[in-house]
Amino acid sequence: MSIRQISVFLENRPGTLNKMTNILAENKIDMRALSLAETKDFGIARIIVDDVYAALEVLKEADFVASLTPVLAYAVPDETGGLNMLLKAFTEAQVNIEYMYAFLGAGSNKAYMIFRVADTMEAEAALEGKGFEALDQEAISKI
C-alpha cells in the first residue's frame, strides 16, 4: 500500500522553490506534504500531492527534473508516544528508515508520517496486522 512521492531536483538559488510551488498552484495541484533537503548547490524537494501524475507532468513540462519514489504513509495518533510505538514496530521488524517526514491533516487528531525504506513491500508486510493505519494514494489525496 505504498504511495508515490515526487522528488524534484532544485538549483539552490533564490526563487527556484517558489517557481515549483507556483507551477503546482497554477495547475490546482494541492501539496499534502513537503520536505526539502539541500546542499550548497542544489536541493531535493520531496512532495506528496493530491494528483501525482498531473504534478509530475506539469513539473517536467516546466523543465524540472522530477521522479517518483515509493514511500510508506502511516497515520499516527497525535499523542505522547504515538510515533514511538510505530518506530518500535519498524525496529522489531528490522526495517531501516532511510528518511521520514510528517504532516498534519486538517481537523484531525493524527499526524501523518512518510517513510522511505529500502523495500516498501517487505516493510509493509512486516508491519501488517500490528494495528497501524497504513494509507494508500487515495486516502492521502483526501486528507
> How would DSSP label each residue in 1-54?
--EEEEEEEEESSTTHHHHHHHHHHHTTPPEEEEEEEE-SSEEEEEEEES-HHH
Confidence grade of residue 56 (pLDDT, cut at 50, 70, 90): very high
Q: What is the pTM of this model?
A: 0.89
Residue 64 has pLDDT above 90, yes or no: yes
CB atoms within 10 A of CB 61: 10
Question: Which of 119 and 143 is assigned the larger pLDDT?
Answer: 119
What are the tens digits of pLDDT across the range 26-43?
999 999 999 998 877 889
Domain ranges of the chain: 3-69, 70-142
Higher pLDDT, 77 or 100: 100
- For domain 3-69, the CATH superfamily is VC0802-like (3.30.2130.10)
**Is the CB of residue 2 less than 8 Å from the CB of residue 120?**
yes
- φ, ψ at 64 (rounded to 5°): -90, 145
Whole-number pLDDT of residue 20: 97
